[in-house]
A and B are shown apart, each in its own frame.
Chain A
Amino acid sequence: MALAKRTTDPALAALELPQGGAWASEARQAARARLAEMGLPGRRDEYWRYTDPTTLISTDPTPAKVGEADDIFAGTNALRLVFVDGVFDADASDGLDESGVEILQLADVTAKDIHWVKEFYGVLEAAGQVPVARPLAALNTATATQGAVIRATGKVSRPVHLIYLRRDETAEAVMHHVVRIEPGADLTLLESGAGAARLSTVMEVDVAEGAAFHHVRLQGRDHERRAATHCFARVAADARFKSFTLTLNGAMTRNETVLTLKGDGGVAHVAGAVVGDGDDFHQDDTVFVTHDAVGCESRQVFKKVLRNGATGVFQGKILVKPGAQKTDGYQISQSLLLDDDSRFLAKPELEIYADDVACSHGSTSGAIDDTALFYLRSRGVPERTATMLLTLAFLAESLAEIDDPALAEELRDRLEGWLARHH
C-alpha cells in the first residue's frame, strides 16, 4: 500500500528513527520534521508532474531481478568502497587509509555524540528544500544508517569509487554520503552499480574555497531497479564542481541535483547522458542551480536517447539571485527519439534577479538526421554503424563534461556496447 500524502503528517511525524548519538538523533529528528511538513511527493506536485513517485514511496519496493555485477572503472586505480544491498562490506572494500583523504562510515560517525560531520549532514539537504521541496531526500536523511563520510584535505592521488552491488531481489537501500573538500583539495568520486531493488541515495558535497570535486557515475545493468538520488552541493569561491552521470537501464530513475554557487568565481557543471529502451524505462533529471555570488559559471548538459516507448524527463532551473552579477549560466537538454513511441518531457526554467548576466537555455527533441544518415551510408557505412555514429555524436557534448579522458573513453565504450545491443 502506498503511503498517502499530506494528510498523513502524523504518520510521518511518528516515523521510527534509527538509534544514534546526540548529533545524529538531532539531525534525524529535524529531517523527520521537515518531511512531515512537506508530505511525500504526489503527482499534483509541480516537480512530480512528469514522474510518478508511486513506486518510489510504496511501503515495500517492487522486487527487481538482480543483474550481472558491473565491472565499470575496474581498470582505474581507485580506492574501492563496496556496499552490498546498501550495507558497507569492509571485506570486499579496500583499506581506507589513503593520503590526503579521511574516509569514515556513516554508521560509526552517527554513533558518536559529537562529530564534525554534523556541520554538513542534513544541512545542505535542508538548505536545498527551498524553494522546491524534496521530501525523498529528507526521508533519506531521517532514516539512513549507511554511507560514506569523506573529507579530502589535499590532492587525492586516486579516485574514491563507491560500488553498489546487489544480492537480494527485494532489498531496499538507503545511503547517505557526506563529502567535504577542504580548501585547495581535489577529489574524484566514482559511483557505479544498481545498489538495490530500490535505492535512495543522498550525497551532500561541500566544496571549499579553491577546491575541486569531480563526480562520475554510471547507473547501468539492472533493468528493473528503481532509484531516487539526490546530490546537494555548495560551491565556495574559486571552487570547481563537476558531475556526470550515464544512465543505461533501470525501470525508474530520478536524479536530483541541487547546486548553490556560494562564493565568487565558482564553477559548477552537471551533465548526463541517458540511453533508454522500452516502455518500462523512465528516467528523470531534475536540476536546480542557484547563483548566489559574483562571476560564477554553471553548465547543465543533458542528452537522452530514447527508443521503444522509453520516457525521459528533464526539469532544470537556473536561479540568479540579486547581486549575482557576471553570472554565466548555460543549460541544454536534448533528446534523440529513435521512434514515435518514445517521449521526452522537458521543463527548462530561468529566474534572474541580476542585470549583468549571460544565461542561455535550450531544449530540443528530434529524430536521427536523414540527410546525415544518407551521407554516411553513401560512403559505405552500414545503416546500423551510421546510426550508432550519429547517436554517439549526439551524446558527445555531455560526455565532453568528463575531465578524465580515460574515464570518458570507458563510458563511451560502454555506450557503444549498449547501442550495439539495442538496435
Chain B
Amino acid sequence: MLEIKGLKVKLEEEDKQILKGVDLTVETGKVHAIMGPNGSGKSTLSYVLSGRDGYEVTGGTATMDGVDLLALEPEERAAAGLFLAFQYPVEIPGVGNMTFLRTAVNAQRKARGEAELSAGDFLKVVRERAKALKIDADMLKRPVNVGFSGGEKKRNEILQMAMLEPRMCILDETDSGLDVDAMKLVADGVNALRAEGRSFLVITHYQRLLDHITPDVVHIMADGRIIRTGGPDLALEVEKNGYADILAETA
C-alpha cells in the first residue's frame, strides 16, 4: 500500500534536515505504529505524506500503490485514498461542519469519477456514523471544530475518516490531549474502520493508544530515521524502559 524509500526532508525556510532517510512499507490491511521521542520527525513524516507546504524533499520516494504521492497536490492525495487525522485539528469559523463534510466527500467522489451523494443520502450516512462516535446534531451544525473540546475535535477527525473511507489512514498523535474515556471512544471508531483493504499508520509518543488499537508492526523512529522495527512487544518494551535503551543500542 504505502512504500517509503530513503525519504529525506528538510525545512523549506531553514537549513534543517528533519528526515534523514526513512524506509517504511505498510502492507494492505495492516496497522503499523510509529513511536519515537519528541523531535524524531514523526509528525513531519505525516505532513510530508499529506502534502503540507514548508518542507522540501531532498531525496527518496513515497508511493501509494505505485503512485508517486510526492508529485500530487494534497487534494489529489486525498482523492487517491490518503487521510491524515491531525494532531491539532484546525478550527474554521464560518464553515459549517456538515457543509465541510459534504463538500469533501463529494469533491473526492467527483475526482474519482463517481456520482455525488444527494443531500438526503449524505445526511442519512453522516447521522449514522456520527452516532457511533457520539457526535450529536449540534456538533454537525457548528462551524468546523470551533468551540469543540479536545476530545470532540479528535472524534470529528475520525468522523471525517469514516465518511471519506480512505485506504491509507495516518493518525498523528491522535491520543494527545485525550482522557481515557475519550481515547477509548476514538480507538473504537478507528477499530470499526479496520478492514482488509485499509491500512493504518498510527503515530504516537506513548504506548497507551496501542492498548486499544493493536498494531501488527511497530517502528521506532529517532533523529529522522526508523531505527528499529518489531511486533507489538516492541511498544511494551518502550513503555517499560523508555526510549533511552533503544537509542543507546543504535547509537
Chain A residues engaging chain B, CB cutoff 8 angstroms = 370-372, 374-383, 385-386, 389-390, 392-397
A370 lies within 8 A of B53 (CB): yes
A279–B119 Cα distance when bound, in Å, is: 40
A394–B105 Cα distance when bound, in Å, is: 22
A380 lies within 8 A of B53 (CB): no
A371 lies within 8 A of B90 (CB): yes
Task: Give the interface centre of A377, A378, A386 by most chain B CB atoms within 10 Å.
Answer: A378
B164 lies within 8 A of A379 (CB): yes
Chain B residue at smallest Cβ distance from A375: B90
3 smallest A-B Cβ distances: which pairs?
A393-B94, A380-B78, A380-B108
Q: Residues of A contacting B89 with CB < 8 Å?
A: 375
Pick the residue among A376, A379, A382, A393 that contacts B93 (CB under 8 A).
Answer: A393
B95 lies within 8 A of A389 (CB): yes
B90 lies within 8 A of A379 (CB): no
Sample (15) of A-B pairs whose CB atoms are under 8 Å apart: A374-B74, A375-B92, A377-B51, A377-B74, A378-B50, A378-B83, A378-B86, A379-B160, A380-B104, A380-B107, A380-B108, A393-B93, A393-B143, A394-B94, A395-B94
Pick the residue among B52, B90, B164 that contacts A380 (CB under 8 A).
Answer: B164
Chain B residue at smallest Cβ distance from A382: B75
Chain B residue at smallest Cβ distance from A400: B94
Chain B residue at smallest Cβ distance from A393: B94
Q: Residues of A contacting B94 with CB < 8 Å?
A: 390, 392-397
B107 lies within 8 A of A381 (CB): yes
Task: Give the interface centre of A371, A376, A383 by most chain B CB atoms within 10 Å.
Answer: A376
A378–B107 Cα distance when bound, in Å, is: 11
A385–B104 Cα distance when bound, in Å, is: 10
Chain B residue at smallest Cβ distance from A399: B94
Tally A-B pairs: CB < 8 A: 78
A372 lies within 8 A of B92 (CB): yes
B73 lies within 8 A of A377 (CB): yes
A378 lies within 8 A of B84 (CB): yes
B195 within 8 A of A: no
A273–B143 Cα distance when bound, in Å, is: 20
Q: Residues of A contacting B90 with CB < 8 Å?
A: 371-372, 374-375
Main secondary structure of the interface of A (DSSP, over half): helix
A111–B91 Cα distance when bound, in Å, is: 60
Instruction: Give residues 87-110 of B contacting A (CB, 8 Å).
Output: 89-95, 99-100, 103-105, 107-108
Q: Residues of B contacting A385 with CB < 8 Å?
A: 103, 107
Chain A residue at smallest Cβ distance from B145: A375
B79 within 8 A of A: yes
B137 within 8 A of A: no
A386–B100 Cα distance when bound, in Å, is: 10
A375 lies within 8 A of B107 (CB): no
A382–B111 Cα distance when bound, in Å, is: 9
Q: Residues of B contacting A382 with CB < 8 Å?
A: 75, 107, 111
A389 lies within 8 A of B51 (CB): no
Q: Residues of B contacting A378 with CB < 8 Å?
A: 50-52, 74-75, 77-78, 83-84, 86
Q: Residues of A contacting B164 with CB < 8 Å?
A: 379-380
Instruction: Give residues 15-33 of B contacting A (CB, 8 Å).
Output: none
Q: Residues of A contacting B100 with CB < 8 Å?
A: 376, 379, 389
Hey, what's the 0/1 contact readout for B161-186 against A, CB within 8 Å counting as 1? 00010000000000000000000000
Task: Give the interface centre of A385, A395, A397 by most chain B CB atoms within 10 Å.
Answer: A385
A379–B95 Cα distance when bound, in Å, is: 14
Give B142 Cβ to nearest chain A Cβ, in Å: 13
Q: Residues of A contacting B95 with CB < 8 Å?
A: 389-390, 392-393
A381 lies within 8 A of B53 (CB): no
A389 lies within 8 A of B74 (CB): no
Q: A393-B95, A396-B94 are in contact. Are A377 and B78 (CB under 8 A)?
A: yes
Q: Residues of A contacting B52 with CB < 8 Å?
A: 374, 378
A371–B51 Cα distance when bound, in Å, is: 12
Q: Residues of A contacting B93 with CB < 8 Å?
A: 393
Give A292 Cβ to nearest chain B Cβ, in Å: 34
Q: Residues of B contacting A394 with CB < 8 Å?
A: 94
Pick the residue among A380, A383, A393, A397 that contacts B92 (CB under 8 A).
Answer: A393
Q: Residues of A contacting B103 with CB < 8 Å?
A: 381, 385, 389
A43–B214 Cα distance when bound, in Å, is: 71
Q: Residues of A contacting B143 with CB < 8 Å?
A: 393
Known contacts A376-B92, A378-B83, A378-B86; can you find 12 more A-B pairs with CB under 8 A? A372-B92, A374-B74, A378-B50, A378-B52, A380-B79, A383-B73, A389-B99, A389-B100, A392-B94, A392-B95, A393-B94, A395-B94
Chain B residue at smallest Cβ distance from A377: B74
Q: Residues of B contacting A386 with CB < 8 Å?
A: 75
B104 lies within 8 A of A375 (CB): no
A397–B99 Cα distance when bound, in Å, is: 17
Give B64 Cβ to nearest chain A Cβ, in Å: 14
A380–B111 Cα distance when bound, in Å, is: 9
Q: Residues of B contacting A372 with CB < 8 Å?
A: 90-92
Chain B residue at smallest Cβ distance from A389: B95
Give B124 Cβ to nearest chain A Cβ, in Å: 20
Chain B residue at smallest Cβ distance from A388: B103
A377–B104 Cα distance when bound, in Å, is: 9
A381 lies within 8 A of B75 (CB): yes
A383–B94 Cα distance when bound, in Å, is: 17
A383 lies within 8 A of B86 (CB): no
A385–B222 Cα distance when bound, in Å, is: 38
Q: Residues of A contacting B99 with CB < 8 Å?
A: 389
Pick the residue among A374, A376, A392, A393 that contacts B53 (CB under 8 A).
Answer: A374
A377–B95 Cα distance when bound, in Å, is: 14
Q: A393-B94, A393-B95 are in contact. Are A375 and B86 (CB under 8 A)?
A: yes
Task: Give the interface centre of B51, B73, B92, B99 by most chain A CB atoms within 10 Å.
Answer: B92
Instruction: Give residues 137-153 of B contacting A (CB, 8 Å).
Output: 143
A392–B75 Cα distance when bound, in Å, is: 20
Give A298 Cβ to nearest chain B Cβ, in Å: 23
Q: A390-B92, A393-B92 are in contact. Are A381 and B86 (CB under 8 A)?
A: no
